[in-house]
Structure 1
Amino acid sequence: MFYDLAKRLLDLLAALTLIVLFVPVWIIVPLLIKFDSAGPIFFLQKRLGKNGRVFKIIKFRTMRTDAEEYWKNHPKLYQKFKKQSWKLTLDEDPRVTKLGRVLRQTSIDEFPQVFNVLLGSMSLIGPRPIRDIEAKDAIRRYGKKIKEQIDTSLTVKPGISGPWQVSGRNDIPWDKRLKIDAQYASRRNLLDDLRIILKTPLAMISKW
């Protein structure tokens, strides 16, 4: 009970502080997105939240508006995308816009997730918010043990940052990411959260 209350208070304080501190981002980035490519400013996508509840994650749009349909005409690239743990490098993903590459490299595309934190669907720190299709694919690949780890991860809210992001980011294999997230969720320790908060800025810089 104490952990949940303290974590929620920390989330609200941090989210409100970040919104105020980054006022220029909320003004400049939407304008740049509109100038860079046609489409909405924000990108919404369904993810699995605490206890498996589906919510819509909020990000600055970094892709073409036809990003999901793109795979229909490029099945080989889609298979590579799936094989590489549902990701492509920025250099090999043609769906990402020019501005989107910059936003991703600096993690600015993830800033709007502070509103997910305010709404209570996410936390400042937590497991990576995964899609249902990713969870099912991981279970198909790795079996029962991975399902248990996913279920454990879903006992807490997903986070903007988390244990795997400060431990190697995309260099960590998919199954090990899930293991790290499950270990974090099982501990439920505020000291872990504070440690990850302190490491997050360096992890963001490491992408540049």
Structure 2
Amino acid sequence: MFYRKFGKRFLDFFLSSIAIILLSPILLVVAVLVRIKLGSPVLFHQERPGKDEKIFTLCKFRTMTDKRDAQGNLLPDAKRLTKFGKMLRATSLDELPELFNIWKGDMSIIGPRPLLVSYLPWYTQEEKLRHTVRPGLTGLAQVSGRNFLDWDKRLAKDVEYVKKLSLAMDLKVLWKTVMVVFDHSEVAEDTSAAEGNLAEIRSKRQEREKQA
């Protein structure tokens, strides 16, 4: 109980502060490379739901270009994701700016990944438990299949994490995260293709259940 209420946040602040200082040269180099290869802005900002569904702004390094068609519409993600962008995702370097989200208290090092705001109406009551803790840079779902788990299993892992939250659990997830990052076999280059859109999937399921 002490770890959940106080210890976890203290470690998040302490470790993210150290990580920001130690990794600042890498952050700078990646930022320069993103600016050269993908353009400006260097950072990708998007609103995500955090603890108690409070909305915060997630920061990541951008991994896609702004290429558009003749009508001025953005091209599909697959056509805007460059080899450099794929490398950033495969090595998780695109996630480094989230250290500042952790430092501020929007996120935790370990926890359920922050998903899209548009997904909020589609969680079951059980799955909503994922928002009773701060979202994480990495989580139990990410080390249990990364982007290849279907949504039901992925969200079930988030709930499992919340129910079993402890220092031992966080250390276990952190260790497995290091292993996954160095073994790229579980990394999906196109996450939308791997997991699909939760809102669309559950909307279609709801329609099928009505018709049954």
Sort the TM-score into its range (normalised by shorter chain).
0.7 to 0.9
Structure 2 residue 113 is matched with structure 1 residue 112: no
Aligned residue type for 2:25 = P
> CA contact under 8 A between 1:113 and 1:160: conserved in structure 2?
yes
Following superposition, the deviation at residue 175 of structure 1 comes to 1.4
Distance 1:15 1:158, change over 3 A: same
Alpha-carbon offset, residue 49 of structure 1: 0.3
1:66 Cα deviation from its structure 2 partner? 6.1
1:189 deviation in Å? 1.6
Structure 1: stretches of 5+ with no match in the other structure: 78-87, 140-145
Per-residue deviation, residues 52-93 of structure 1 (Å, max 9, x unmatched): 1111111011112368xx9x677xx6xxxxxxxxxx8xxxx1
- Structure 1 distance, partners of 2:67, 2:54, is 27
- 1:175 match: 152
**Amino acid of the residue matched to residue 99 of structure 2?**
V
1:7-156 pair list within 5 angstroms: 7-65=8-66, 93-136=78-121, 139=122, 146-156=123-133
State the one-letter code of the partner of 1:121: D
Greater RCO (Cα-Cα under 8 Å, separation 6 or more)? 1
CA distance 1:73–1:29, shift in 2 (3 Å): closer
Q: Say yes or no: does 1:193 pair with 2:170.
A: yes
CA distance in 2, matches of 1:73, 1:23: 32
2:126 aligned counterpart, secondary structure? helix
| Paired position in structure 2 for 1:143 | none
Structure 2: runs of 5 or more not aligned: 186-212
Post-superposition shift, 1:187?
Answer: 2.2
Letter in 2 for 1:203: V
Q: How much is the aligned-residue C-alpha RMSD, in angstroms?
A: 2.2
Which residue type is aligned with residue 131 of structure 1? L
Bigger radius of gyration, 1 or 2? 2
Distance apart, 1:188 and its partner CA: 2.4
How many angstroms apart in 1 are the aligned matches of 2:118 and 2:183?
29
Letter in 2 for 1:61: R
1-side partners of 2:119 and 2:64: how far apart? Answer: 19
- The Cα of 1:97 is off from its aligned counterpart by 2.9
CA distance in 2 between counterparts of 1:42 and 1:66 reads: 17
Segment of structure 1 superposing worse, 32-41 or 51-60 = 32-41
Once the two structures are TM-superposed, the CA of residue 170 in structure 1 deviates from its matched residue by: 1.0
TM-score (norm. length: structure 1): 0.80
Q: How far apart are residue 198 of structure 1 and its match?
A: 1.2
Q: Is the 8 A contact 2:67 2:74 kept in 1?
A: no
Aligned residues: 182
By how many angstroms is 1:112 displaced? 0.7
**Aligned-pair distance for 1:38?**
2.1
- Cα offset for 1:114? 0.6
The one-letter code sitting in structure 1 at the alignment partner of 2:53 is G
Deviations 1:143-196 (Å, cap 9, x if unpaired)?
xxx422331000000000100111110111111111100111122222111111
